[in-house]
Amino acid sequence: MRERSISFTTRKRNRVFRRSSKRNGATHFANDYTFRVKQDGKSHFFNLGPDKRQAGPLADKISDYLKVEGNTAEEAHLMFSKSHREKAVRNNRREELGVPLQGAAHRPATVQMISSRYEEVTSHLSPFTIRGNLTSLRRFAAGILGLPKLGKGRTKDELAEWREKTGSFPLSGFTNQAVEKFRQRELTSVKEDFEKLGAMTASLNSYLRGARSIFFKKLLHHYEDLNLPDPIPFQGIDQLQEPSHRYRSKIDIIKLMKLAKNELKPEHPEEWIVFLLSIGVGLRRNEIDKLALEQIDSDNRRIWIKTTPYFRPKSRSSEAYVDVGPGIMEEIEAYSAQHAPVNAPFLLPGPPLSGDRLRCQSVLKSLYAWLRSHGVDEIKPLHTLRKEAGSMLFQSSGSLLKVSEFLRNDIQVAREHYVGRKERIEIELPGL
């Protein structure tokens, strides 16, 4: 049996160790890992549990939390220690009975506090969803504080300062008036350009959905020991009216297919396969990136989008099979036969998995450049191909139900976002 580490250093250079004691002249080490921090001249010890894979990231979370000005070790204990949280819940119940209490448990909750807890209790969600929702919450905090938007040119220090300021923002600051003032300021800044106004409206609605989901009723019992404001943030705020999101096809798909077959297939076969999986099978980027060989059912010409050791579908409705045309399946089989021994267990090449990062980043970037050079100039070119797939299927079948089944999304979403009209609908007047 492999001996467990006595101590190790985390990715963020925090030291984690197992505490020791001497009995009968022998040194004994605790089963659980410990993280030690000093604040105001006093040492604080955090029990991280026995699992090294969980202990390191937890130590980094505690360290990040304590770097935010105003956050205390006592509050960190409440957020990251189960025993401390249970004690705080008991104290809250005592307070309801009229027993006065004082201490860190009754300081107003902040963005950083709720973010750390939300990450703890939402392991059933995808990392993309969690990160998106937390980013939405911070965007509202930044907007209310009047902080500048973070672009690609920002330095690490500027990003750290931005995160510190948004992290220390109290949840009580998300009043309906403050949120609405921020939204109106954003809309006013682009009101002269209707196209930008529509995009801004959609972004603000997306932020609202993400931030509000952190405070869903089914999650509130996880926050019992946090001093949440009343009312709960983002309740009673309506979505803004967005412009139509109906897809408008600008692509000559027959011409694009010929170009892809002539230019991509011979020299860049992996890009050719990504192209086919998107336009011909309607797969999402992450589904393509982590597509395992075991998901490909050649006999029945199907690809199963399901939970694997490497991938979890976007939602429960996304977990289903997709029928694959014979020509596309032949291309996939031919590619797999040649490259499977090298790429296994995945269909496409890429470095080892690292968190939720995309494996095939270099392949995707190269394909994006090719698509843009041939007129697919949207921000998310693969997403555009997926919309083209829905549009072609609707044109041939006339059925929104089939489109939603094929793309594995809601029928209303398919209608509003994934179906672009390709045929002409016109009246020929008599006598002209």
Domain boundary among the residues 74, 102, 130 is at 102
- Taking every pair of Cα atoms in the chain, the longest distance, rounded to a whole number of angstroms, is 110
Strand partners, 297: 302
In a domain, 392, yes or no: yes
Full pLDDT tens readout for the chain, 432 residues: 456 788 999 988 999 999 888 777 788 888 889 999 988 888 888 988 888 888 898 898 888 888 877 778 877 877 777 665 555 555 555 444 444 444 444 578 999 999 999 999 998 788 888 999 999 999 999 999 998 877 777 788 888 889 899 999 999 999 999 999 999 999 999 988 988 898 899 999 999 999 999 999 999 999 988 889 988 999 989 999 988 777 888 888 899 999 999 999 999 999 999 999 999 999 999 999 999 999 999 999 999 999 898 888 877 778 889 999 999 999 999 999 998 778 889 999 998 887 778 899 999 999 999 999 999 988 899 999 999 998 888 888 889 899 889 888 888 877 877 777 677 777 778 887
Domain range for residue 403? 253-417
In a domain, 268, yes or no: yes
Same domain, residue pair 216 and 268: no
Same domain, residue pair 334 and 394: yes
User: For 372, phi and psi rounded to 5 degrees?
Assistant: -65, -30
Domain CATH number, residue 288: 1.10.443.10
In a domain, 152, yes or no: yes
In a domain, 432, yes or no: no
Domain boundary among the residues 210, 243, 276 is at 243
Residue 307's closest CA among 299, 316, 298?
316
Same domain, residue pair 66 and 126: no
Same domain, residue pair 378 and 397: yes
In a domain, 286, yes or no: yes
In a domain, 430, yes or no: no
In a domain, 428, yes or no: no
Same domain, residue pair 86 and 37: yes
Same domain, residue pair 286 and 188: no
Domain boundary among the residues 200, 218, 243 is at 243
pLDDT tens digits, one per residue of 51-94: 888 889 889 888 888 887 777 887 787 777 766 555 555 555 54
Is the peptide bond prior to 313 cis by the omega test (within 30 degrees of 0)? no
Same domain, residue pair 87 and 218: no
Rounded CA-CA distance 415/343 in Å is: 37
pLDDT tens digits, one per residue of 86-120: 555 555 554 444 444 444 445 789 999 999 999 99
Strand partners, 224: none
Judge whether 197 and 101 are in contact, CB under 8 Å.
no
**Spatial CB neighbours of 170, under 8 Å, sequence gap ≥ 6:** 108, 109, 110, 111, 229
Same domain, residue pair 321 and 172: no
The gap from C-alpha 308 to its chain's centroid, in whole angstroms, comes to 18
Same domain, residue pair 36 and 96: yes
Same domain, residue pair 263 and 218: no
In a domain, 237, yes or no: yes
Record the tokens describing residue 140, joined without a space: 């509202």
Same domain, residue pair 37 and 134: no
Judge whether 312 and 124 are in contact, CB under 8 Å.
no
Domain count, the chain: 3
Same domain, residue pair 344 and 262: yes
